[in-house]
């Protein structure tokens, strides 16, 4: 399923397939990259779906809020929904396959409870499995089928990938789930909201415009955002801008004025006010206190 508007590129391809009593939806798209070569977001962000990165060659470093994890050749990582992260560096020659998925329980009565199995497996902020060259072939098949718009076959191959990962991880001995994340009927809308927020947070985004893209009322759109993000629309924009502000202050030599403009604030005074309210100190103090 493709989503477009005058300011929004094609967001995703979607494949849906059942595996026993588990329904999987697999997403990918041009802005995410099927085979990623040094094309990554530069700020911490969150999604309402799972992300898989498989490094075919080279390496990438994924930054979480409290740690960095380097993913090397033939390694695979699955990042859970709502976990703040970004890819902060890659090797000079890097080839990465990236897929996105969500899951829910279907109405089928089956002997194997795949839904329970996957729920127990995906119970941490991320799952990191090292040195699995055997996964290269299946990830290439998934990517190839997506590129050919063969969505059902790509979904079938993705099921094969997931089963291989479960076998590698001996999921039968997995601990009970710490988190319960089941996508609801608004998941497709959330993916569009998520894309807009993460890519256009420094612009004058209006809730009315997002509602129009979703073909919903402003009230309905506001309710979806509050339910899935835990804050209202304006607070969500502030969160994204403050995360980016922190990154720019600590990782660049840009002036506070330049950062203010980059984040979309028209007033330096206004940026200072919001930053201090969010972090408790002024931007210059934050840079001096937290910079290594």
108 and 245 within one domain = no
**Residue among 136, 150, 142 at smallest CA distance from 100:** 142
248 and 262 Cβ atoms separated by less than 8 Å = yes
Q: How many domains does the chain have?
A: 2
Q: How many CB atoms lie within 10 A of CB 44?
A: 20
Classify residue 159: in a domain, yes or no: yes
Same domain as 242, residue 143 = no
Domain boundary among 173, 195, 226: 173
Which pLDDT score is estimated for 228? Answer: 76
> 105: Cβ–Cβ under 8 A, 6 or more apart, which residues?
21, 22, 23, 115, 182
In a domain, 114, yes or no: yes
pLDDT of residue 176: 37
Residue 106 sits in a domain of what CATH number?
2.60.120
What pLDDT is recorded for position 29?
52
Give the range of the structural domain holding residue 270, as residue numbers without chain letter: 204-290
b/e burial code for range 169-192 (CB count within 10 A of at least 16 → b):
eeeeebeeeeeebebeebbbbbbb
| Three-state SS annotation for the chain | CCCCECCECCCCEEEEEEECCEEEEEEECCCCCCEECCCCCCCCECCCCEEEEEEEECCEEEEECCCEEEECCCCEEEECCCCCEEEEEECCCCEEEEEEEEEEECCCCCCCCHHHHHHHHCCCCEEEECCCHHHHHHHHHHHHHHHCCCHHHHHHHHHHHHHHHHHHHCHHHCCCCCCCCCCCCCHHHHHHHHHHHHHHCCCCCCHHHHHHHHCCCHHHHHHHHHHHHCCCHHHHHHHHHHHHHHHHHHHCCCCHHHHHHHCCCCCHHHHHHHHHHHHCCCHHHHHHHHCC
Q: End of a domain among 124, 155, 173?
A: 173
CATH number at residue 272: 1.10.10.60
Of 151, 173, 195, the domain-final residue: 173
pLDDT digit of tens for each residue in the chain (292 aa)? 332 333 333 445 567 788 888 888 887 654 343 333 334 455 787 777 899 999 998 889 998 988 999 999 999 999 998 888 888 766 677 888 888 888 888 777 778 888 888 988 998 899 999 999 999 999 988 888 877 777 777 888 888 899 899 888 765 444 434 443 344 456 667 777 877 887 788 888 889 988 888 888 999 999 988 887 788 999 989 988 998 899 899 889 999 999 999 999 999 999 999 999 999 999 999 999 887 6
Q: Are both 153 and 212 inside the same structural domain?
A: no
Judge whether 152 lies within some domain: yes
């Amino acid at each position: 399923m493709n989503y477009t508007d005058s300011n929004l590129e094609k967001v995703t391809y979607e494949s849906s397939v059942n595996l026993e009593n588990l329904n999987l939806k697999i997403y990918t798209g041009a802005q995410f990259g099927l085979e990623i070569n040094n094309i990554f977001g530069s700020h911490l962000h969150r999604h309402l779906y799972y992300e898989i990165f498989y490094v075919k060659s080279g390496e990438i470093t994924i930054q979480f809020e409290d740690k960095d994890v380097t993913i090397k050749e033939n390694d695979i990582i699955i990042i859970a929904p709502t976990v703040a992260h970004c890819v902060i560096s890659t090797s000079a020659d890097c080839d990465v396959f990236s897929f996105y998925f969500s899951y829910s329980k279907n109405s089928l009565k089956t002997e194997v409870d795949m839904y329970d199995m996957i729920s127990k497996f995906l119970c941490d902020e991320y799952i990191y499995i090292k040195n699995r060259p055997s996964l290269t072939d299946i990830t290439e098949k998934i990517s190839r089928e997506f590129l050919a718009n063969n969505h059902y076959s790509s979904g079938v191959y993705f099921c094969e990938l997931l089963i291989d990962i479960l076998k590698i991880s001996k999921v039968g001995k997995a601990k009970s789930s710490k988190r319960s994340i089941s996508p609801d009927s608004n998941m497709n809308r959330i993916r569009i909201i998520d894309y807009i927020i993460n890519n256009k947070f420094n612009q004058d985004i209006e809730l009315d415009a997002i509602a129009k893209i979703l073909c919903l009322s402003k009230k309905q759109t506001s309710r979806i955002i509050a339910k899935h993000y835990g804050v209202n629309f304006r607070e969500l924009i502030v969160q994204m801008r403050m995360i980016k502000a922190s990154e720019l202050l600590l990782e660049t030599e840009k002036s506070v004025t330049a950062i203010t403009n980059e984040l979309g604030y028209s007033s330096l005074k206004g940026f200072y006010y919001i930053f201090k309210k969010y972090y408790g100190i002024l931007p210059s103090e934050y840079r001096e206190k937290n910079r290594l």
